[in-house]
Amino acid sequence: MTPLISRLAAILAASLALFLSPAHAQEGGSSALGEVSEAICSGRMINPITDVCWDCMFPITVGSIPVVPSSRPDTENPSSPLCTCPAPPPLFLRVGLSIGWWEPSRLADVTMQPYCFPNLGGFVMPGVLPRGHGRAERDQGVGEEGVWEAHWYIYPLFSMLELITDAACVRGPQWDIAWLSELDPFWHDDGLSMIMNPEAAAFANPVALLACSADCVAATAGKPIDELFWCSGCQGNVYPLTQNIPVQTGQPMGSVLAANRLLYHNYRLGLTPRAAGSDAAVLCQDQYAPVWRKSQWRVQTTVPVPVTRGSLRACIPVGRSTMVWQSLKWGPVIGEDFGYLYWGKRNCCAG
C-alpha cells in the first residue's frame, strides 16, 4: 500500500493550490446546505480472487461460436473465427483467431465525501479538505438529492494476474488512477458541463426521459439499447454528466447513476476505449469514440458488500434496475460510499 498511497499523495498535493484557500479555512467545513457532519469513509481492499465474480467473464467465443456459454447477455461477435490484422514487415499481415470474452477493466469509487477511496479500504487523503467538506447533514434517501464525488481506476485484472498471454490482446496501460472528480471543474457545475456536452440540452425534456423507460425494460430483461445513449436505463437520464442527482430513489440508485455518468464522461475524455465489436478495426486495436456503448459493459458491486454470485445481481447490465440487488447493501452504519467494478467486453484477433 505504501507506493499506492505515495502516488495518491503526489497527485493530490499538486492540486492543493487550486482547492485550498483562507476562505476554505474560515468556512470550517460549512456549506450552503447546512452544517456538515463528520463523515466516515467506509470501504474495503478488493481481493482479486474472492471479491470478483469469475462467472462474469463468460461467454467466451471464437467467432460467433460460444466455446464457454453463459446465460448472461452478450454483444455481437464477428461471424468468422478467422481474422487478419496489419503486421510489421516483412509479414505485413497476420492471421489469427477472433476471440471474445468479458474482463474486469475499470474500477469506480462513488462517495459523498471528497477524497474518500472506498475501493482502497476507505482511505481518506489527509490534510486536503476537511472531512465532510461541502456536504450537508441531510437525508440522502428516497426522493432526495444526491451529490457524489467519484474516482476512475484503470484496473486490467486479467493482465495483472497474467491470465492473458497473447501480446496482441494485452492492450492499454496497467493499474492507474485515471481520474479524480475533485480535480475536475466540469463534474461540479451543470452549466460548465454543457460546454463539453452541449447535446445535453436536446435531451432535457419529458419525451427524451420517457424513452429511457424502454431502455430500462431492455436492460432489466437483457441488455440496454445503445441508440438511447442519453439514458442510463432505470436510473433515468445520464445528462448532465456531473455529480448532481436531482432525485434518487435510494443511495444505490444514485451511486450507480453517478458511476454510469462517470463511465460516459471518461468516453468524452478519451480515457475509455471501445474494445468490442465485429469490425476488423476493433479486433486489431482499441478504438475511441465520444459516445458510450452501454451494452459492452457490466457492473459489479464491490463496496460495501461484494456481489459475486447470481446472474440477476452480479455484473448486471448498465441501466438494470437496482431494486433487484440493492437490499441489505447499504445503510447508515455502512456509510455513503460505494465501489463498482466494470467488466468490459473484449474482441481480439489472437495469434
Query: Per-residue pLDDT averaged across 151-159, rounded?
Result: 93
Rg over CA atoms, the chain: 21
Question: Identity (one letter) of the amino acid at 59?
Answer: P
What is residue 39's predicted lDDT score, i.e. its pLDDT?
Answer: 60
Q: 147: closest CA among 263, 58, 36?
A: 36
And the C-alpha cell for 80?
Answer: 468468422
Query: Per-residue pLDDT averaged across 20-42, rounded?
Result: 45
- Mind listing the pLDDT tens digit for each residue in 104-115? 999 999 999 999
Element (H, E) at 11: helix 2-13
- Mind listing the pLDDT tens digit for each residue in 257-314? 999 999 999 999 888 899 999 888 899 988 999 999 999 999 999 999 899 988 778 8
Confidence (pTM): 0.85
Task: Locate the domains of the chain by residue range.
Answer: 2-350
CA distance 248 to 243: 12
CA distance 161 to 158: 5
The one-character DSSP state at 275 is -
Instruction: Decide: 185 and 199 in contact? Cβ < 8 Å.
Output: no
